[in-house]
Amino acid sequence: EIVLTQSPGTLSLSPGERATLSCRASQSVPSSDLAWYQQKPGQAPRLLIYGASSRAAGIPERFSGSKSGTDFTLTISRLEPEDFAVYYCQQYRSSPRTFGQGTKVEIK
């Protein structure tokens, strides 16, 4: 089972600031098969990024993803008020599919 470890657990930032979220895999994730999801309270997760770096349909350009070895990064270039939420990474090439434990981006 591929374990995904997200850091930090909580990120306290102000609107307009840059957010950098990390997701480290316990082993290689084949074919960059990693996604990022955003979840707001009381809502289902929403797909942001797939294939480690491709934005899903309708996702603003301020969201970007990257990969370096077994480390994955989600960057929000300038935080908008609607971006304060919990973010999860997920690998979807290996079974069981696994999620990171989440990073909460909160208003400072």
Partner 1 sequence: QVQLVQSGAEVKKPGASVKVSCEASGYTFLRYYIHWVRQAPGQGLEWMGEINPTGGATTYAERFQGRLTMTTDTSTGTVYMDLSSLRSEDTAVYYCARVCCGGSYGEFDYWGQGTLVTVSS
- List 24, 46, 62, 67, residue binding partner 1 (CB under 8 A): 46
Residue type, 99: F
How many residues sit close enough to partner 1 to count as binding (CB under 8 A)? 22
63 interacts with partner 1 by CB under 8 A: no
Closest to partner 1 by CB, 13 or 56: 56
- List 21, 37, 55, 65, residue binding partner 1 (CB under 8 A): 37
81's tokens: 């008020």
Task: Convert residues 74-103 into a mask of x (bound to partner 1 by CB under 8 A) and - (unbound).
Answer: --------------x-x-xx-xxxxxxxx-
Closest to partner 1 by CB, 16 or 58: 58
Strand partners, 85: none
Contacts to partner 1 by CB under 8 A: 33, 35, 37, 44-47, 50-51, 56, 88, 90, 92-93, 95-102
